[in-house]
Structure 1
Amino acid sequence: MRLRLSRFRLSKAVPLAISRGTTSAVEHLLLELDHGGITGRGETGGFDTGHRHYETDAVAAELEALVPRLDSLEPQPLQALEPLLAGLSPPARCGLDLALHDWWGQRLGQPLHRLWGLDPAACVATSVTLGLGSLAAVLARLERWRQQLPATRVKLKLGSPDGLAHDRQLVEGVKAVLRPGDELQIDANGGWDLEGAHQMIPWLADQGVVLVEQPLPPLADPEADRAGFAALHGLASVPLVADESCWDLCDLLRLAPHVDGINIKLVKSGGLSEGLLMARTAHRLGLKVMLGCYSDGGLLNSGAAQLLPLVQWPDLDSHLNLVDDPFSGPDRQGDRLVPADRPGLGVQEVG
């Protein structure tokens, strides 16, 4: 099989500000895997969680070094390629894993969700993200989302550098304009310390939010990271969700006694192979699953969408905020995303 790499830019219509900074555009990698007259495609790129950082150039170098080794290999069975994938960084593994799955699904003429026996009728509405900013800017962003789709599930970023008072102002301001039946999710992106989280989480529960995601900064020491969630779990009735602290199945098992849910992101987990395993394991352990994204395009989110029937809290809105994405995203019915019925990842080029 032959692997080709190219780069493309993804520019946001509205820049996104979180506790770690603001993003207006990224450069991503397109992987095209050719074999037997079929081309499987994958998308990946660099990202930063505060305690781990990957540059797109470094990810590209990893994948380029693989090109000669792939010439003598077959794209199936996938199990035979696991040792090759295991040696890659999560974003490099994600791109290749997606391309292999896309090839496999196209070879069999079926979408991945059908090959896995998943039911698209189980898919629920995605959340839409409100970044940090002034209250006026946050409310304007919500109105813009509502012009685009129903926006019944709202995820508000907190952890503001302006402090907890500003976080509370944002919550109260957004709550005031929510419609009956809308729900409010909170994502601090690790922007609080332990004392701040102890103040905010019970208050947020009283405000009726449906979940609090990653209240504390992720830590490189797994035990210290686990201890942070343990100190907060059960503090209030609102579910606690791990994102930046939860990368793979090992992290899920480490955190499972101290959280109510996990956020799976494909570039973090290393692709669909690990993502599917994490989602099914979370269900067996009684945890809920969020499916998230970074500044990901339609190709990557189309891959992630194959897992949507297993997800209670979809958060795949990044492709809906792009002005130059070369690929369309998952099929959409209002604010409900569903995996495409087309073979493989089901991705299509724009235009």
Structure 2
Amino acid sequence: MIHEARPEAAMANVPVWDDGAWAPLPSLQGHVSADACVIGLGGSGLTLISELLRRDERVIGLDATDVGGGAAGRNGGFLLAGTYDFYHDAITRHGHDRARAIYGATLAEMARLAEEAPGTVRFVGSKRIAATAAEVEDCRVQFDALRADGWPCEWYEGADGTGLLLPTDGAFDPLTRCRLLARAARDEGATLFARTPVTGIHGTAVITPHGTVHAGRVFVAVDGRLEQLLPELGDRVRTARLQMLATAPTAEITVPCPMYYRDGFEYWQQLPDGRIAIGGFRDKGGDGEWTHDWAPSAIVQQHLERFLRETLKVQAPITHRWAASAGYTTTGLPVIAQVRDHVWALGGYSGTGNVIGALAARAAAAAAIDGDHRPAQLLRGDAWSPDMPLRPSPSTA
């Protein structure tokens, strides 16, 4: 049975990051026009808006809820280098040169995220803790692969288990980051609307319940439910529900950095004020977690609470329970594609949207505006090599 001290807070599906201080953006009313319309005001959408503004584009941004209302503001607050796959698995799956290049790009992007959203990032490292003897051996393979390529990694054995310490990873407040990016975008001239769900994209006209955006280009920058807005991506991306809970501040344990456990199925961190935020157990929810519903479910929340109480030994009251929709691809690499004339899609970050999503946004802007497809080719698994020359922009990508 689920227990919580404050059910009105814990069951409201509000992430621990939301301090309630944000003034909602206006909704779109009427007809407007711009060079570019960006659908989705999460981390990737807002990064894309910044990139478009740097290229002197007139930009309108829309979101069905509000800034950071999707997975970008409802995730675990981890900044991890690399792809969805652990580094050695990424080498096997995507090739050594690509895996190494993406790893380096994500490290550089994390530094950039910290610069763009001052005060939100803590570079405290992360730990991968093994749940089984087989996972300990897998950690050793990952350790060897990282060290062979010169990436910082330490073998770890401590009271909380055995595994790896990755000192270059970090933790951050994802919702505050999105709100800072939104304020900066508005200051730089972007027009942003919230509570404006898109009901259709007809050519480059973006249709909403109370108005239309007419744009030269449309970018659909959402992670979860991407295949709803663009049905032609239904065979490339699938939406899953990711769930978390958080406690009141506690001194029962000290968690110095983000923690990954059981091959990453569970993850938790301690916030600066002492709260424990934990997510995971998506596999325990079965096929029901492949859903567009983003309300917390009882079965996953029960597993999270049991792990909190029995494994982490934390008895502090649970104050927040929430969920988010995230897109997964069969490759573990994101979708970055021109899917219709002048309509681009980016999403399907497979749980790595904090960093890969920002890189995907920069890659989409480079491809759509500059005709430079190399960053997108690197991230999405196209034919690629480190010395690939600049290609002219094709009609589709």
> With structure 2 as the length reference, what TM-score do the two structures score?
0.26
Greater RCO between the two (CA within 8 Å, min separation 6)? 2
- The structure richer in helix per residue is 1
Decide which structure has the larger Cα Rg and report it.
2
> With structure 1 as the length reference, what TM-score do the two structures score?
0.28
